[in-house]
Amino acid sequence: MNSIYQIARLTFVQAAHQTRSWVIPVLLCIATVLSARGGIASWSDFYRTSYVPLLLLFLPLFTCSGIVAAEVESGRVLVVHSLGISRRTFIIGRAVGAAGFCLGVATCIQFFVGMYLVFAHHVPTLRGALGALIGLAFCFAYSACLLAFFSTVLRSWGNTGVVLALTYLVYPFVDHLCREMPDVLWLTRLFLIGPYELVLRGSESLPFPVVDLAVVVGACALLTTAAILLYSRTEIGKIAGHQAS
C-alpha cells in the first residue's frame, strides 16, 4: 500500500508540473465565470451548462494520457522497477495519482462555484457539492483507468486523444439510440460517457443507482486488470533502448 501511495504521489507531482495539465483547469475557471454571469442558481445548473461537462470529461485526457507510455519510452520506469516496485503497483499508483489530481482540480473549482452560490443566491450548497464531488471521483477514476489502459496500447499522447475524442463524439448518437431502446443500450451509453450522470445526480442530491455504481466499479477493475496484463508483457528495456538509438 505504501508503494502505491508513493507512485500516486509521484504521479500527482508530475501532473502538476505538466503545462498541458493546466489547460483544462484554466478553461474551467473561465467556464465558472461565464456560468456565474449566466445566472446559475444551483449545482445542477453548473454541471448541466453545455461546456462544463465537456471540459470535465477532457480534464483526465490532458492529465492521464501517456502516464504509462511516457515512462516506458523514456526508460524512467526502469529506475522505478529497480527499486522493487512491481508492475501491478505501478499501474494502480499511476491511475490513482492521476485521478487524485483531477479530483483536486475539480474540488478547487467547486469551492469557487460554492462561494458564488452562497453569496449570490444564498443556496445551501454542501449536500449538492458533496454529491457532485463523489460523482466526480467515480468519473475521474473511470477515466484514469481507461487512459491507463490506452497508454499501455497506444504509444502516443495524440493517438490517445484521438481515440477518446472519437469515443465522446459518437456519444450523442448512442444517447439518441438509448432513448429509443433504453433497455438495450444503457450499458453502452454508460461506458461511452463514463459515469458523468452520477455527477448530475449527485449535484441534484439524488441517490446514485446501485447498478450504475456497480458497472463503473466493475469497468475500473476490468480496465486496470487489462492494463496490468498488457504492461506485464511490455519489454521496457527494448523500448527504451530503441528510443535512445
The grid coordinates of residue 153 equal 496500447
* pLDDT tens, residue by residue, 135-156: 999 999 998 998 889 888 876 6
* pLDDT tens, residue by residue, 226-245: 999 999 887 776 554 444 43
**Contact of 100 with 8, CB cutoff 8 Å:** yes
Residues 6+ apart with CB under 8 A from 89: 3, 4, 7
First CA to last CA across the chain, in angstroms? 36
Residues 6+ apart with CB under 8 A from 191: 215, 219
The secondary structure element, H or E, covering residue 165 is helix 157-169
The secondary structure element, H or E, covering residue 90 is helix 87-116
* pLDDT tens, residue by residue, 188-233: 666 666 678 889 889 998 999 888 888 889 989 999 999 999 998 8
User: Distance (Å, rounded) from C-alpha 140 to C-alpha 60?
Assistant: 7
pTM: 0.85
